[in-house]
């Protein structure tokens, strides 16, 4: 399978840069897989898991806390708000995220903000259930 | 003429000071390395961010959200002055403040209103004397040991909230760009309305999910956080660099002082011995 260039950056550092075969991106309108010669797309991400398939059988899974994914001719760039490799992620982190989201829901002053926060909270809860931790 | 005892205490006190400045220099050198690494690690994100933003904004012909296009006014300016929390780092703080002050005078000369947010206590202390009525907020980062993106994000949120309430029209960041250990360049950077570097690079038929406007709406505040984060990181590296070189100077100065004082001390000691000998000899001759 053909490989393409993939970069994953968080504000603090560059987490991954290299050639991969496919990446599953948790887009805000649904998950999608990026492979070589994908049409240019720019999307926001919801909290979820980025699944990176490097050439061969090596796979890398990371938890991202939202951000942006940019697919262009030069490859895929993910600007993550925060990214943690799945094996380093523990129940505490998720619980803290959910706690923060709950606070956001109760602090929200407008309906729009409350809806956005509630959506985020639901996504996080879903994720926790999916990961089983 | 100072007595021998006075000279001795003076020398030992300069020696103690030299030890302190030497230690501070070494601490600053270690911290500088860490700060520089953090600044370098954050660079890819900022670069990608501005590339993506240029891409998206290039597609929008004029208009766009207020954070990008401004709110059409240019009357009230907000200056976010980022300085250090601690002194003893040469002209680092005062050169940032000087740049901000020049900016304020120019804006006031044009009849604009100026508001100031200080990040860091040292800048606040210096600006307070002249512009105490214009300072609307002080953000204290003293409790922060390792600067994280969350800190920058909190500052950016405050700025955006004020912008949304119409408190100002244009926001400018003041910080010190890190060039090298001996060169830190005070810099002013406008963040609202956003300054897009490069312009439209690719006008390829992009698809946007959910929509162009929604993406831009999340992208722009994020961009401000990134800019603030970068400014704070550059500032941290500059501060340590400035402290390192100024403490190096201080250590050298102290060494010079010790050398001079030691010569005076030795001369005085010899003079005293000679004097005592003369007294003994002339006493013996008188017998």
The pLDDT, as a whole number, for residue B106 is 93
- A58/A83 Cα distance (integer angstroms): 19
The pLDDT, as a whole number, for residue B205 is 64
> Tell me, what CATH number does A76's domain have?
2.60.15.10
* Cβ contact, residue pair B52, A43, below 8 Å: no
Cβ-based neighbour number of residue B245 at 10 Å: 20
Same domain flag for A93 and A81: no
The pLDDT, as a whole number, for residue B273 is 95
Same domain flag for A68 and A14: yes
Same domain flag for A16 and A75: yes
Helix (H) or strand (E) holding A17: strand A14-27
Q: What is the DSSP letter of A40?
A: P
Same domain flag for A21 and A73: yes
Same domain flag for A69 and A18: yes
Alpha helices for A39-110 (secondary structure H): 91-107
Query: Which residue of B38, B209, B218 is in closest CB contact with A27?
Result: B209
Number of A to B CB contacts under 8 A, please give it: 80
Same domain flag for A76 and A26: yes
pTM: 0.83
CB B6 within 8 A of CB B265: no
- B37/B162 Cα distance (integer angstroms): 32
Enumerate residues 6+ apart whose C-beta is below 8 A from A89: A63, A131, A133
- B111/B8 Cα distance (integer angstroms): 60
Give the residue from B162, B177, B164, B171 showing the smallest Cα distance to B190. B171
- B191/B193 Cα distance (integer angstroms): 6
* Residues belonging to chain B with any Cβ–Cβ distance to chain A shorter than 8 Å: 38, 41-42, 44-45, 48-49, 52, 55-56, 148-149, 152, 202, 204-210, 214-215, 218-219, 222, 225-226, 229
Strand-strand pairing, B184-192 and B170-178: antiparallel
- Provide the domain limits for residue A69: 4-86
pLDDT profile of chain B (287 residues), mean per 10: 88 96 95 90 84 73 70 87 90 93 93 92 91 88 82 90 90 91 89 70 66 80 89 92 94 96 95 95 91
The pLDDT, as a whole number, for residue A125 is 77
Q: What residues of chain A lie within 8 A of the CB of B200, using their CB?
A: none
Say yes or no: ipTM exceeds 0.95: no
CB A47 within 8 A of CB A120: yes
A56 close to B (CB below 8 A): no
Phi, psi (degrees; rounded to nearest 5) at A53: -110, 105
Enumerate residues 6+ apart whose C-beta is below 8 A from A1: A21, A22, A35, A36, A55
Helix (H) or strand (E) holding A121: helix A111-131
DSSP string, A60-73: EEEEEEEEEEEEET
Strand-strand pairing, A4-9 and B135-139: unpaired
Same domain flag for A77 and A103: no
Same domain flag for A121 and A102: yes
Same domain flag for A79 and A46: yes
Give the residue from B172, B163, B206, B190 showing the smallest Cα distance to B57. B206
Mutate to test the interface with B, among A6, A11, A39 (most CBs of B within 10 A): A11
Cβ-based neighbour number of residue B24 at 10 Å: 19
Interface of A with B in 65-104 (CB under 8 A): 68, 70, 72-73, 77, 79, 82
Provide the token pair at B128.
Answer: 């307070």
Phi, psi (degrees; rounded to nearest 5) at B182: -100, -10
- B212/B68 Cα distance (integer angstroms): 13
Same domain flag for A122 and A104: yes
B89 as an active site residue: the answer is: yes
Provide the token pair at B63.
Answer: 């208009």
How many domains does the structure of chain A reveal? Answer: 2
Same domain flag for A62 and A103: no
Cβ-based neighbour number of residue B135 at 10 Å: 17
- Residues in chain A with pLDDT < 50? none
Query: Which residue of B38, B42, B209 is in closest CB contact with A43?
Result: B209
Same domain flag for A54 and A95: no
Give the residue from B146, B170, B162, B165 showing the smallest Cα distance to B233. B146
The pLDDT, as a whole number, for residue B30 is 94
Q: What residues of chain B lie within 8 A of the CB of A72, using their CB?
A: 55, 202, 204
Please list the residues that pair with A123 across neighbouring strands. Answer: none
Provide the token pair at B208.
Answer: 């946007």
């Amino acid at each position: 399978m053909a490989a393409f260039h993939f970069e994953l950056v968080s504000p603090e550092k560059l987490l991954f840069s290299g050639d991969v075969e496919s990446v599953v991106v948790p887009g805000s309108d649904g998950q999608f897989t990026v492979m070589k010669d994908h049409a240019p797309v720019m999307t926001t991400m919801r909290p979820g898991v980025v699944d990176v398939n490097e050439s061969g059988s090596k796979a890398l899974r990371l938890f991202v806390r939202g951000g942006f994914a940019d697919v262009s001719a030069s490859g895929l760039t993910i600007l993550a708000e925060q990214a943690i490799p799945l094996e380093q992620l523990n129940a505490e982190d998720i619980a803290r995220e959910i706690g923060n989201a709950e606070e956001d829901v109760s602090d929200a002053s407008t309906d729009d903000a409350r809806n956005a926060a509630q959506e985020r909270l639901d996504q996080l809860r879903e994720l926790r259930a999916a990961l089983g931790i | 003429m100072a007595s021998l005892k006075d000279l001795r205490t003076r020398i030992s006190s300069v020696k103690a000071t030299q030890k302190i400045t030497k230690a501070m220099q070494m601490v600053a050198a270690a911290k500088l390395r860490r700060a520089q690494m953090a600044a370098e690690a954050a660079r890819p994100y900022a670069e990608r961010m501005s590339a993506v933003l240029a891409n998206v904004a290039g597609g929008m012909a004029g208009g766009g959200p207020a954070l990008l296009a401004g709110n059409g006014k240019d009357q009230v300016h907000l200056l976010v002055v980022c300085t250090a929390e601690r002194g003893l780092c040469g002209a680092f703080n005062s050169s940032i403040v000087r740049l901000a002050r020049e900016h304020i005078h120019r804006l006031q000369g044009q009849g604009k209103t100026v508001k100031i947010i200080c990040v860091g206590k040292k800048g606040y202390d210096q600006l307070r004397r002249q512009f105490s009525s214009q300072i609307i907020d002080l953000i204290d980062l003293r409790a922060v040991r390792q600067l994280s993106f969350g800190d920058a994000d909190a500052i950016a949120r405050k700025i955006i909230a004020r912008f949304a309430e119409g408190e100002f029209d244009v926001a400018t960041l003041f910080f010190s760009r890190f060039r090298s250990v001996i060169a830190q360049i005070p810099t002013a950077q406008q963040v609202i309305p956003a300054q897009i570097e490069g312009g439209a690079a690719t006008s390829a038929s992009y698809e946007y999910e959910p929509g162009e406007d929604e993406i831009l709406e999340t992208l722009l505040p994020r961009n401000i956080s990134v800019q603030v984060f970068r400014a704070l990181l550059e500032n941290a590296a500059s501060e340590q660099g400035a402290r390192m070189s100024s403490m190096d100077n201080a250590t050298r100065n102290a060494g010079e002082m010790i050398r001079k004082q030691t010569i005076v001390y030795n001369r005085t000691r010899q003079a005293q011995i000679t004097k005592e000998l003369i007294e003994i000899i002339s006493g013996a001759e008188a017998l």
